[in-house]
Amino acid sequence: MIEGLAIGVLGGVALASSMGYARFDADGMPMLGLKVTPPHAALLLIVGTLALLACLGRRSAVIFSALTAFGWAVLTIVCSLKAAQHAPGVLGFDPRDSLLYGALSAYNLATSLLLALTLFRHHRRP
C-alpha cells in the first residue's frame, strides 16, 4: 500500500504539473531528484493505482508484486542502457531512474516472496 501511495502521488503530481503550468524539457521535469516526463508520470500513476487495488487480496498482492518486480527489473535494464547511450526516450531515462526502478524491483521481489510465504503457510494449516 505504501508503494502504491508513494509512486501514485508522485506520478499524479508530476502529471498534473505537466498539464498545468510547468514546462517540461525534452528529457523531463526535475521532481524529487528525478527527471519526470508525462508518460513516465502516467506510468507511475497507473502502477501506483494498481498497487493499491492489489492490496484488496493476498493472492492478488502476491501476483501483482511478482509481476511488477519483473517489470521494474526490465525497466532498470532498459533505463541503464538508454542512460548510458544518452538517449532518454519518452520516459526520460536517466541514471537516477535506474536506481528508482532497481529499488522498486527489489522491494516488489521481497514483498512477493514474503507474501507468497505467508500465503503458503496459511493454506497448509489444517
pLDDT of residue 76: 92
Q: Which residues of the chain register pLDDT less than 50?
A: none
Integer Cα distance of 107 and 61 in angstroms: 13
DSSP letters spanning the chain = -HHHHHHHHHHHHHHHHHHTTPPPBTTBEEETTEEE-HHHHHHHHHHHHHHHHHTT-HHHHHHHHHHHHHHHHHHHHHHHHHHHTT--TTTT--HHHHHHHHHHHHHHHHHHHHHHHHHHHHHH--
pLDDT of residue 57: 85
Instruction: Give the global pTM.
Output: 0.80
* Residue-wise pLDDT tens digits, 55-83: 888 888 899 999 999 999 999 999 889 88
> Residue 88: what are its φ and ψ, rounded to 5°?
-65, -30
pLDDT of residue 28: 66
